Structure 1
Amino acid sequence: MAILSIYYFLPIFSLFCGLWAFVGGRKHLLNTLLSLEYIMLSIFWFMVVMIVNLGGDSFFVLFFLTLAACEGALGLALLVSVVRTHGNDNFSSFNVLRC
């Protein structure tokens, strides 16, 4: 029974670590995008643990993984666009008033 609680605790702990990295490190856009991907992967891990223990179908988990991959590709495209227009990904160098 103790090993089962570890399977539930580790994804939740990794989710909070990802949230802490997302809120705490807002210096570079790449760090923010990587922490968002980590949050998505920890949610995916938690969903897999829950569905395997409940004996459900894995269709929803694969759909979620597809959406997470699309979100990662969109984030990388945004990062490339920002680096091309501004020269770097520092949040301090962005000027909101100048589109």
Structure 2
Amino acid sequence: MTNLSFMVACSFFMIFCGLWSFMKYHKHLLNSLLSLEFMMLGIFWLLSFQLSGVGGDIYFSLFFLTLAACEGALGLCLLIFVVRSHGNDRFSSFNLLEC
């Protein structure tokens, strides 16, 4: 039982580290996307441990992982679009009034 609680604590640590890095290093779009993906990985790990502990289906966690991968691909597409249109990925260079 202590092994499972250690793994749950590690997944919460991953989530909070991702949240901290999202709040701390928010000047570049790539840093924000990487910290969001790190949080999603921690949530996936927590979800898989909780579902395996209860004896539930693992298909829900695979569905969650699929959605996280699609979210990552969408984020990378947006990153490529922003770098091609603005030249860099710094949030300070974005002009929200420009169409």
1:98 is displaced (CA, Å) by: 1.4
How far, CA to CA, are the matches of 2:4 and 2:65 in structure 1? 23
Give every structure 1 segment of 4 or more consecutive aligned residues whose post-TM-superposition deviation is greater than 2 Å.
1-4
Aligned to 1:47: 47
1:8 is displaced (CA, Å) by: 1.3
1:3 is displaced (CA, Å) by: 2.2
How far, CA to CA, are the matches of 1:61 and 1:17 in structure 2? 21
How far, CA to CA, are the matches of 1:79 and 1:2 in structure 2? 41
- Identical residues among aligned pairs (%): 61
1:7 is displaced (CA, Å) by: 1.5
Aligned to 1:98: 98
Q: Structure 2 counterpart of 1:19, which letter?
A: L
Q: Which runs of 5+ in 2 are unaligned?
A: none
Aligned to 2:17: 17
Asked whether the equivalents of residues 18 and 38 of structure 2 are also in contact (C-alpha less than 8 Å), the reply is yes
1:1-99 equivalence runs, <5 A: 1-99=1-99
1:95 is displaced (CA, Å) by: 1.2
RMSD after superposition: 0.9
1:89 is displaced (CA, Å) by: 0.2
Q: Aligned residues, how many?
A: 99
